Amino acid sequence: MEYVKSKKYQTSDFMKKIMGPNPLKLEEELLIDHKIKDGAVVCDLGSGQGLTSVFLAKEYGFKVYAADLWSDPLENARFFETMGLCEEQIVAVKADATDLPFEKDFFDAVVSTDSYNYFGRDAHYLDNKLLPFVKSGGYIYIVIPGMKKDCHDNLPDELLLSWTPEQLDYIHDIDYWTRIVSDCQNAEIISIKEMQSNEECWNDWLMQENEYAVGDRKAMNAGGGKYLNFIAIVLKKK
């Protein structure tokens, strides 16, 4: 895939802030031919240090709420300012994905990049915790790390070089996620598919020198990537 938008952010300073396989490239593929309206109010759910939030604001022109539980919103706000964005364009919010602090029907869309698998495995999450904050006709765009085929009953040794069985339980295949989102009563499934983005996004991450990237190299250098993929899910609220 040609990452036209993401290339603009392929700097050492920006890449030092990523927290996993390149989230901008994942998000760029996720949003190819997206249906979110111009100028939409969008929740970047699980935004981390705000890289994807900046990307949504600058490249797509959305009004973005960067919602994350573990990052410092003041630090993110300072980062947004250095990127030339004002509060009319982007807002940092400390938020638990299971207890969002917004008005009902507030968002035109939600985008979640490489985080939904931590809180969305509950089949009731969409109906009870997320969709109430999305306007009727609004969209949910999700990209999550996945497995080509669930192998939790016999985890490959390569994957166990970097991750425990408990950590790997956050990663599942398309069949698993299809079952989860099919239980949702208030949204229709537009698409669920394996993404093209994989090796290049991983390579961007494995080049970093933080302890998590270094730890992930063990599995990936041993060939663990052959079991993994990324999954894109698009939903529309009824």
For 128-154, the pLDDT digits (tens) are 999 999 999 999 999 999 999 999 999
Domain assignment present for 206:
no
CATH number at residue 98: 3.40.50.150
Q: What is the pLDDT of residues 159-206, one digit of tens each?
A: 999 999 999 999 999 999 999 999 999 999 999 999 999 999 999 999
Residues 92, 73 contacting (CB under 8 angstroms): yes
Which domain, by its residues, includes 26? 6-152+169-201+226-237
Query: How many angstroms separate the CA atoms of 90 and 118, rounded?
Result: 24
Domain assignment present for 140:
yes
In angstroms, the Cα distances linking 76 to 51, 72, 108, 163 are 9, 6, 22, 29
How many domains does the chain contain in total? 1
Domain assignment present for 26:
yes
Place of tokens 């089949």: 123
Q: What is the pLDDT of residues 72-84, one digit of tens each?
A: 999 999 999 999 9
Domain assignment present for 80:
yes
**pTM > 0.95:** yes
Place of tokens 């602090």: 101
Domain assignment present for 52:
yes
Domain assignment present for 160:
no
Domain assignment present for 216:
no
Domain assignment present for 210:
no
